[in-house]
Amino acid sequence: MKKILYILSAVALFSACTADLEDQQVAVESNPANAKILNASTNCVGGSIIVRFNPSAESRLAECATRSGATRTGVSGVDAVLDEVSGYSVEPLYVVTEKNREKVYAGGYHLWYELLFDKSSDMEAVAAKLANVAEVQRVQYVHQIKRIGAPKLSTTSVAGETSTTRATSTIPFNDTYRKSQWGLENLGGLMSGGYVNNLPKAVAGADVNVVPAWRLCAGDPSIVVAVFDEGVMNTHEDLKNNIWVNEKELNGTTGVDDDGNGYKDDVYGFNFTTMKGAITWEKTGDTGHGSHVAGIIAAENNNGIGICGIAGGSGKNDGVKLMSVQIFNGDSGASTSNLVRAFQYAADNGAHISQNSWGYLSAETEDADYWEKGPANDRDYKYQLSSEAGAIDYFVANGGGDKSVIDGGLVIFAAGNDSAPIPGYPGAYEPCVAVAAMNPAARPAYFTDYGPGTDIVAPGGEQLYGNGEILSTVPSQNSDTGKKYYGSMQGTSQACPHVSGVAALGLSYAKKLGKSYTAKEFRSLLLSATNDITPYLTGRIVLTYSDGSSLDITYPDYEGMLGGGYIDAYKMLLSVEGTPCKVVATGVETAIDLSTYFGEGIADAEFVSAEASAEDTEAVGLTIGAYSKGKISIKTTKVGTATITVKMLIGGGSLSDNKKPFPTEVVRKFVVISKEKVASNGGWL
């Protein structure tokens, strides 16, 4: 069976745009001209360079900003350089339309330009001359983002399904391969049945806990996730009904910008490698990665075929929509300048979430050439790669569609597959959500980056386990044997869309309930909707690679290095709803203090009942103990979820006491999430 492992990075260090240009302006004014050049020319794209002008040049730039086909800027010093190198085009880095003009100008984004000229020109000489122009604030070389090789495969592995005690799936949909999606529902018996080659056994509940979440919401077509990746196969049987469609372009005239957004023929998104509307997924070098990521988020549910998507709906055309923002195409990747344009495009065209399973190598990666590494901290990132940081800031500020659910956008990134103690950028950038990967045993996957800058963990697959990778949608040429249009991959690339899917599901539920958030508020909800991974960080394994090298993994070393824990879709939706939940360990009696719901005055109230439905009681093997002094005790024997309804009489006296005011029956609900293991500080959400 064909297996694909995937990780993306940059061959070259990217360069400059910024959200804090005023601070950088002070630094530039006190340094020589070459301080304006923020990145190296190594492997740069010939005949293209990016500049950021000082605000003082704005009036002179006005004509070329509004005229298609401009060849000069109106700034004499820059135009003189363009004359020397046969400059043939001056293009604003950000598209300005009537709809976005105010936000582009407010952030100073209109001062960024790409200059195009003779490719044989000496790039360092051009950059130096431009940096000597007073009106130029920043100069950056343009690079092309490219993939790097997959992480090394271990010769340590477990083949096939060895357990004969596999539980029955509770997924409520009829999709063919749903039982193979351990990231959505891990039943514990799906992988190795015991410690084979020192691998911990699979853990029931080590998943995104989406099954109970689907009882509340399965998606909403008004929520849009922009997939920054290879092109998403918009004709795929399991994706086509959840693809974002630009109706004006679909029904418009080919070669015309029918909707006035600055892009022609962008029916399903836009291809930022060719700068054309046509999305592709079958070029030489394509791996199916974009379609694989898309399926995890929103493959159509309950359609009788394929897999389930986390926010793929319930089979009633109610899944979230997938916008293809293509930044990889066969063997090529988008340029720095077009990557910036991609973030603006997604924000301006209604995307709520930017999904990014690509990134630079961690700065801590051993034996990596400097220009294949990303920055080591946010300060360096915002300076050295400020154009990219600025584009991310633009999406965070301006994403969110019509703003009815979220006033801004979420940017979610894979942490990286370098087994390094610092995640790669851009994911480590503070406004982003950096996602590490876990395996079916609720341990960090052997390849995942971790440490400071890591925000959250999600199922990313691991080839060490039989059927332990993540199954999702792919074009036919990338399919597993016997599964046309479906393939298996592993990586933080697969963990990332699990979080994007949960975020999209949370926004869908907020839409259903009529709630709205700022981007910062919703990001906080997302990062707190987690389960503690610490109880599983025990033991040690040593992996041997085919090249003879080895990796020694001591799981306790990851403690405190994996963000808030692993994502939980049900907790996410409960947070949106405002319903508290309690995480308990199976087989352990837990005292529940009812003052959490009824206030400190519970001592004067009269207990009526605490009960769960027969279905929930059976699902978790629930026993509810007697009430005593404001508390009840509960015990579960199975992994799962249950809702407990508690009734109290509050407001004076018992029903039989006619001398006191008639009491009010107050009803409160809370959710119990039962796990195999819970940290001692489990607590309430």
Q: Which of 130, 147, 164 is where one domain is finished?
A: 147
| Other beta carbons less than 10 A from residue 588's beta carbon | 12
Does any domain span residue 187? no
**596 and 565 in a common domain:** no
Does any domain span residue 680? no
**343 and 283 in a common domain:** yes
**515 and 378 in a common domain:** yes
- 120 within 8 A of 8, measured Cβ to Cβ: no
Does any domain span residue 552? no
- What average pLDDT does the segment 49-58 reach? 94
What is the distance between the alpha carbons of residues 51 and 136, in angstroms, rounded to a whole number? 7
Dihedrals phi, psi of 439, to nearest 5 degrees: -100, 180
Q: Which of 91, 116, 147 is where one domain is finished?
A: 147
**What CATH number does residue 370 fall under?**
3.40.50.200
**378 and 286 in a common domain:** yes
Query: What pLDDT, in 10s, does the model give residues 508-561?
Result: 999 999 999 999 999 999 999 999 999 999 998 888 877 788 889 999 999 999
Does any domain span residue 681? no
Does any domain span residue 463? no
**592 and 533 in a common domain:** no
Report which residue type is found at 1.
M
Peptide bond into 426 cis (omega under 30): yes
In degrees, rounded to 5, the angle at the alpha carbon of residue 522 between the alpha carbons of residues 520 and 523 is 65
Does any domain span residue 193? no
- Residue corresponding to tokens 């979430």: 353
**348 and 404 in a common domain:** yes
Q: Give the number of domains in the chain.
A: 3
Q: Residue 151 pLDDT > 80, yes or no?
A: no
Does any domain span residue 25? yes
**What integer pLDDT is reported at residue 4 of this predicted model?**
37
Q: Which of 110, 127, 147 is where one domain is finished?
A: 147
**391 and 473 in a common domain:** yes
Across the chain, mean pLDDT equals 87
**What integer pLDDT is reported at residue 43 of this predicted model?**
86
**141 and 57 in a common domain:** yes
| Other beta carbons less than 10 A from residue 458's beta carbon | 28
Question: The domain containing residue 671 runs over which residues?
Answer: 580-675
- 378 within 8 A of 422, measured Cβ to Cβ: no
**What integer pLDDT is reported at residue 10 of this predicted model?**
35
**357 and 405 in a common domain:** yes
**594 and 566 in a common domain:** no
Does any domain span residue 91? yes
Query: What pLDDT, in 10s, does the model give residues 80-91?
Result: 999 999 999 999
**589 and 534 in a common domain:** no
**What integer pLDDT is reported at residue 371 of this predicted model?**
40
More confident residue, 35 or 392: 392
**566 and 620 in a common domain:** no
Q: Percent of the chain beyond pLDDT 90?
A: 67
**What CATH number does residue 645 fall under?**
2.60.40.10
The distance in angstroms from the start CA to the end CA of the chain is 42
Query: What pLDDT, in 10s, does the model give residues 410-456?
Result: 999 999 998 999 998 899 999 999 999 999 999 999 999 999 999 99
